[in-house]
Amino acid sequence: MDMINLLKKTKNKIFHLNPLIIKYCIFPSNFCDYTHLKLSKNRPHAGLDRGVFKEDMNGHIKINNLKWDHRPGVLFTQIFEYIALENHYLGKENWKNSKFAQRCVKYIKLNNQIRGFYDHKTFLLKREKQIDNLFLSIQKNGVYPNNVPREKNIFVDNISVALTGKSKLYFNNRGHHRLSIAKILKLKEIPVKITVAKSLNILSKFCSSYDN
């Protein structure tokens, strides 16, 4: 398949995959668009540093043949976001007491807002309730793809992954909670989008194996 046809085929493409396939985050390096710690060490998601690629707002998959995938980053199940949700689900620790939640509190106290909340106490109470509702929703309906045509740029809000030179999928910093809950609930399939691929050849092979 030539480059133009491949890029057209994969524009706004949703891939339905087993969440267990996504084991690692992207290693933080200068080959990525940015890393959490270089962006801001105070942001909640910077608890464990990770590399990130920016989304193409038009739904295209970007090609990056640099050495961003020379090694995997941290295991997804080791990030604070996942641990907070797993412990909450298992009854080991309420989400609002987790290390990730406390990072959120610290960030808000530095005169920032998270999800429209400027008061950390209100944030903790309402966010934990939202998380409970998300567990219930995903348990009942699974993870649904964001591909409603009438809502501009909604596609980029899907769980984001990067396709490596060895055809591995690394987490790309969008959809922490959905991917975490899917893993915790042991879902068989979730919708994801590929934000960046190592090469057109790798992307073509991946698409061919996926279609089969």
Residue 62 included in any domain = no
Give me the pLDDT at residue 28, please. 98
- Low-confidence winner among 23-37, 118-132, 141-155 (lowest mean pLDDT): 141-155
Average pLDDT, stretch 196-205? 96
Give me the pLDDT at residue 30, please. 96
Residue 150 included in any domain = yes
Average pLDDT, stretch 149-164? 84
> If pLDDT is split at 50, 70 and 90, which confidence band does 151 have?
low
Residue 38 included in any domain = yes
For the cut 70, the answer to whether the pLDDT of residue 152 exceeds it is no
Residue 39 included in any domain = yes
Average pLDDT, stretch 139-161? 83
Give me the pLDDT at residue 210, please. 85
Domains of the chain: total: 1
| CA distances to 13, 145, 148, 157 from 154, in Å | 13, 10, 7, 6
Residue 9 included in any domain = no
Average pLDDT, stretch 178-182? 98
Residue 14 included in any domain = no
Across all residues in the chain, what is the average pLDDT?
94
List the domain range (segments joined by +) for residue 39: 19-54+72-211
Give me the pLDDT at residue 5, please. 85
Residue 13 included in any domain = no
Residue 145 included in any domain = yes
